[in-house]
Amino acid sequence: MTADIPVLPDAAKNLAPVKDPVIGRVVSNNSCMKGKSASFVRHTEIDVSGTPLEGNCLVGQSFGVLAPGKDPKGKTHKVRLYSIACPSYGEDGEGKIISTTPKRFIDEFNAEEKSPGPTENGLFLGVCSNYLCKLEPGDKVKLTGPSGKRFLLPVDRDKHDYVFIATGTGIAPFRGMAMELLSHPDHGPTTSQIHLLMGAPYTSDLLYDDLFTGLASKHDNFHYHTAISRETRPDGSRGCYIHQLVDEQIAQFGPILENPRTVLYICGLAGMQIGLYQSMAHHKLNNGYFKIGEKLSGTDPIDWEPSQIRRGVKATGRCMVEVY
């Protein structure tokens, strides 16, 4: 069977450039974590009505945020991108309120890193994520974008099935996509199969967990799987990464990935695609998702080095990758 390469919509890009950003106004900014954790992740809603971003941000795209202040060299801070976490029709149904999922970047200060921001008590605080996370309703924020033209839902949603694979804040676009596919105010829920796989360190770090468990109980075609890396599992085995979950449950995921209707979306930590590519190639499930370069073809994927994969494996028509 030939695979169905998804036809993607034409996405508007860069309507608000860095040189001419728009001003959004924060509507709400609340934790979207399941429980208390060492991390801090918010769901941030921003009103962009009356700006070129209104009605022009597609789910899967991102927008830019310009944090106020200057870097240690006295230059204005560079733009940082944040994935859109709402459907293309926004949080309000009209594309006036968009949202994202910022995670505070906090670490012990490391003098060997090229630090762009201040330190406090030996802690390095990322500039833009901490700025975003502490914004309050009514605050103004400078935005750019939208950005991205490939990590999008297909034009014909019902023609495809979906495997969404996230780590951490990589879940952001899948919140919007799942809502758009299942709760669209005009089209009603899709009958396509949707599998969402989410990787997090602890159960408390799961993001938008109530939404996804709610969608899974309401829609038989929505399946929510979690891979918790730092907790012992009920059967006594160690925690796992998402590609290990796919590997362990290949009897379930193999036929889904083999189905020519399926489109695979990968979003989150840079490097998360490596293990997935290895596992999929090992099970001969790469067809339509990625091309394996000459140097690697014919070799055992288990032996592939990450640097070889970065150079020699390229996503193709049915595989969308957004890692950062």
Question: With respect to ligand A2P, which residue has the nearer C-beta, 182 or 245?
Answer: 245
Using CB under 6 A as the binding rule, whether residue 267 contacts ligand A2P is answered as: no
Binding of residue 72 to ligand A2P (CB under 6 A): no
Residue 269's binding partner out of ligand A2P, ligand FAD, none, with CB under 5 to 8 Å set by partner kind: ligand A2P
Residue type, 25: R
Pairwise CA distance, residues 245 & 259, whole Å: 19
Binders of ligand A2P among 35-54, rule CB under 6 A?
Answer: 39
Q: How far is the CB of 141 from ligand A2P (least distance, A)?
A: 23
State how far the alpha carbon of 60 is from the alpha carbons of 173, 174, 187, 200, 238, in Å: 5, 8, 19, 20, 32
User: What is the smallest separation between the CB atom of 174 and ligand A2P, expressed in angstroms?
Assistant: 14
- Residue partners of 68: CB distance under 8 A and separation at least 6: 77, 131, 142
> Would you count residue 269 as binding ligand A2P (CB under 6 A)?
yes
Residues 161 to 180 in contact with ligand A2P, rule: CB under 6 A: 167-168
Residues that bind ligand FAD (CB under 6 A): 62, 80-83, 100-103, 105, 107-110, 113-117, 124, 126-130, 169, 172, 322, 324
Nearer to ligand FAD, 130 or 273 (CB): 130
Q: Which does 101 bind (CB under 5 to 8 A by kind): ligand FAD, ligand A2P, none?
A: ligand FAD
Give the C-alpha separation, 17 to 1, whole Å. 43
The correct pick among 242, 266, 281, 309 for binding ligand A2P (CB under 6 A) is 242
Specify the stretch interacting with ligand A2P by CB under 6 A; choose among 17-25, 63-71, 156-164, 193-201: 193-201
Smallest distance from ligand FAD to CB 227, Å: 19
Residues 203 to 232 in contact with ligand A2P, rule: CB under 6 A? 205, 229-230
Indicate the burial class of 246 (C-beta count within 10 angstroms; 0-12, 13-18, 19 or more).
buried
Interface contacts to ligand A2P, rule CB under 6 A: 39, 167-168, 199-201, 205, 229-230, 241-242, 269, 271-272, 275
